[in-house]
Amino acid sequence: MREKVAAQPPDEGGGTRGLPLTRPSGTLSRKGRGGPPSRPRRQTDVETWVAGMITLIARRIATAFMTILAVVVLSGLLVHVVPGDPVTAMMAQSVTASPEVMAEMRSQLGLDLPVWQQVARYAGGVLTGDLGTTIRGNEPVARLLLERLPNTFILAASGLGVALVLGVPLGFIAAINRGRLADTAVMIIAVLGVSIPGFWLGLAMIQIFSLKLGWFPVAGTNARNLVLPALTLGLIYCALVARMTRSALIEILAEDYIRTARARGLREREVLLVHALKPALISIVTVVGLVFAYLMGGQVIIENVFSWNGIGRLAIQAMLQRDYPMIQGFIVVFATSVVVVSMSLDILYGILDPRMRQR
C-alpha cells in the first residue's frame, strides 16, 4: 500500500494532474528507481499510455480470474473439512427419515462422492456459470444471490460512504495535528472502531435509536431500515479510513515539494488543500478497495443483526445448515465482488498514477 502512495510533483502549471497529455514527464520524483526516460514525442506518448493501460488491464483481469478460481477450489475443500453433514443437520431434532432415506438423499445430492470430485464438479459448474441449487429448498443458488446482491451493494456503498465522509476528515485532522490532542482523540476513536464488535454496536444502535427513541425500525429492508446498519458499518470502518488517511497524509506532508511549497510562502491552507490533499486522495482510492473487502466481511454480521435481506444473511443460514452449494455460491460472489472492486481501483489508480502502468 505504502509504495503506491503517489508523490505528486509540485506542478503549479494547473492542468489535470496525472493525465498523460499534460503530464510533465521527467519531473516525476522517482525515488531510487533510476532516471526518467528521454522525453518522448507526443504521439508515442499516447500510444505508450494506451499500450500500458491495456497491459495493465489484461494482467489485472488474468490475476482476478486466477484468484477467483483459487477461492472456488480452496473454499470447496474447506466447507467439506468443517464437520457436520447437511442431511444430518436437516434431521437434527425431528428425524423423519430412515437411514436408508438419508443415504438416498446424500447420494442424490452427490454428498457420497469423494471430496475432490465434489469440488471438481462444483468448480466445473462455476466455470459454466452454474452455481447449483441449495440443499435446503432446492432453489437455484445464483437466483437467490442475484436477488439479494443489490441490497448488499446498497448497504455496502452506504456504509462505505459513511466511513469515507467521517474517516477522511478525521484522518486529515489527525495528520495536521500530529502528536497533539486532536490526533490522540482521533486515534482513540480509531482504536475503538477497530475493537468494538460490529454486532454489539448494531444491537446498541437498535436499543438506542429503535427502542428508546423510536426513530428507525428494527428489522427490514427498505430506505428507513438502511440508516442504522449503514451507520453501524460506517462507524466501524471510518476508523480504518481515518488511520489510512492519516498515514498517507503524514507521508505526503514530509515530501520535498510540500516543504518547497511552504518555503515559497504559500499559505498553509493552500499547501494542504491543493498540494497535499489531492495526492492523499489518490492513495485513499486504493485504501477504499481494502476497506470495501473488510466491510463486505463485517456486513455479513450486520445484515443478520438488522435483518437486512442481503447475501450475508443467506450465508450465515447456509453455514449453520451446511448448505454447501449456498455457502460456496456466497463465497464465489463475495470473492468476485472484492476482486472486481479492487481490480477496478487498481486500473483507476493506473490512470491516476502513470508509474503503475510500467510495472
Partner 1 sequence: MTALKNMLKMPVAAALLAGTALAAQPAVAAGLTVARSVDADGLDIHKVSTTQSMQVTNLLFDTLLTMDRSGGIHPGLASGYTLSEDGKTYVFTIRDGLKCHDGSAFDAAAVKFNIDRALDPATVSPNASSWGPIDSVAVEGSTVTVTMKSPYGPFTAFLAGMQSGLMCPSSVAGAEFTPIGTGPFKLVSWTRNDRIELAANPDYVNFSPLIENPGKPHLDTLTIMVVPEAVARMAALRSGEVDMVEPSLEEAADLKDDDAFKVYAADLSGQQVFAAFTWKIAPLDNPNVRKAIGMAMNRDAYATIGFEGLVDVANCPVAPNLFATDEEKCASWGVSYDPEAAKALLAEAGYGPDKPLKVKLLVHKLQGWDQMHQIMQQDLAAIGVEAEIETREVAAFFDYMGTVNGKAEGEPAVWTMGMSGADPDYLYFLWKQPGFTNMGLSDTMDAELEAQRALSGDARAAKVQEIQQYLLENAYAVPLVSPGWGWLMASTAKVDGFKMGHMVTLLFNDVTVTE
How far apart are CB 151 and partner 1 at their closest, in Å? 9
Closest to 129 measured CA to CA, from 64, 59, 197, 72: 72
Task: For partner 1, give the closer residue by CB, 137 or 161.
Answer: 137
Give the integer Cα–Cα distance in Å for 189 and 106. Answer: 50
- All cell numbers assigned to 244: 489510512
Name which of 148 and 357 has its Cβ closer to partner 1.
148
CA-to-CA distance for 348 and 341, rounded, in angstroms? 10
Q: Report d(CA 149, CA 140) in Å as an integer.
A: 14
Q: What torsion do the CA atoms of 153, 159, 160, 162 make, to the nearest 10 degrees?
A: 140
Residue numbers of the site for partner 1 (CB under 8 A)? Answer: 82-86, 88-101, 104-105, 108, 136-139, 144, 199, 203, 206-207, 210-211, 214, 217-221, 304-307, 309, 313-314, 316-317, 320-322
Left (φ > 0), alpha (ψ -120 to 50) or beta: where does 353 sit?
beta
CA dihedral 153, 156, 160, 162 (to 10 degrees): 110
Q: What cell numbers appear for 93 in the block?
A: 431434532
- 324 or 349: whose CB is closer to partner 1? 324
For residue 199, give the nearest of 307, 315, 309, 301 by alpha carbon.
301
Cβ proximity to partner 1: between 106 and 355 the closer is 106
Residue closer to partner 1 (CB basis): 248 or 326: 326
CA dihedral (34, 38, 41, 42) in degrees, to 10, reads 30
Nearer to partner 1, 181 or 213 (CB): 213
Least Å distance, CB 96 to partner 1, is 5
Distance in Å, CB of 104 to partner 1, minimum: 6
Sign of CA dihedral 223, 225, 227, 231: negative
Residue 172 vs 334, nearer CB to partner 1 = 334
Q: How far is the CB of 288 from partner 1 (least distance, A)?
A: 29
Question: Shortest approach of partner 1 to residue 128 CB, angstroms?
Answer: 22
Q: Between 3 and 100, whose beta carbon lies closer to partner 1?
A: 100
Interaxial angle between packed helices 223-253 and 198-205, expressed in degrees from 0 to 180 and rounded to the nearest 10: 130
* DSSP code for 207: I
CB-based burial of residue 278 (10 Å sphere; 0-12 exposed, 13-18 middle, 19+ buried)?
middle
Give the shortest CB-317-to-partner 1 separation in angstroms.
6
Least CB distance from residue 160 to partner 1, whole Å? Answer: 23
User: In the complex, what is the shortest distance from the CB of residue 78 to partner 1, in angstroms, rounded to a whole number?
Assistant: 14
